[in-house]
Amino acid sequence: MTRSFTSLDDDGFNRLFRDFRYTAYRLETLQRYDVSYEQDEFARFLAGETRGEFPGIAAWCDTVRAAVSVGKRMHRVHVVTEPLSDYVRFECGWAYEHTVEAGEDVRLIVLTGRDWPADLPHHDYWLFDSSQLVAMHYDEEGRFVSGEVTTDPEKIVQANRWRDAAVSVSIPYRRYADLPRPSSP
């Protein structure tokens, strides 16, 4: 069974974040996302303003805290390339800092001149309870186009393999954030 949606505000999609029983996992593969709830804060980040918790991330943190407080696990792996794009620097400093504090296990696969991991796709998805898959589709600019919810067993088994492969080669966000960075000239 497959169902598509074209808005991140889709009731069925958002219900998955309330109704999952054990795990919600996200694979992120883009170096830039363009979603409306981050645009103002991304502009503030680019202007050099200090980090704050913004409405979009505050709502997500509430979702994470509610899930974690009842023993559920929320985790993601983001494949990033160095040097980091402005957006990924924003996401790390202004989003992941908050979501990790809320209890989300955020991990990174950092590509520094090496090829994309052969056992990972070049597209995003959510996987709920290892049994419900949501393929996330974005355009070239990182704008959300559509999502596709499926219960197709073959696709779900593949998404579980990708998750396991991504987690096995990723590092926790906090460890990455604490790594020494070369100083700017």
What DSSP letter does each residue of 60-73 carry, written as one string? HHHHHHHHHHTT-E
Ordered domains of the chain (ranges, CATH): 2-177 (3.30.870.10)
DSSP secondary structure code for residue 183 in this structure: P
CA-to-CA distance for 122 and 7, rounded, in angstroms? 21
Nearest to 59 by CA among 98, 24, 6: 98
Q: What is the pLDDT of residue 38?
A: 85
Percent composition of the chain: helix, strand, coil (DSSP 3-state, to 5): 40, 25, 35
Q: What is the pLDDT of residue 53?
A: 65
Cβ neighbour number for residue 118 with a 10 Å cutoff: 6
Q: What is the pLDDT of residue 52?
A: 66
pLDDT values of the chain reduced to their tens digit, one per residue, 185 residues: 789 999 999 999 999 999 999 999 999 999 999 988 888 889 989 999 887 667 778 889 999 999 999 999 999 999 999 999 999 999 999 899 999 999 999 999 999 887 899 999 999 999 999 999 999 999 999 999 999 999 899 999 999 999 999 999 999 999 999 988 665 44
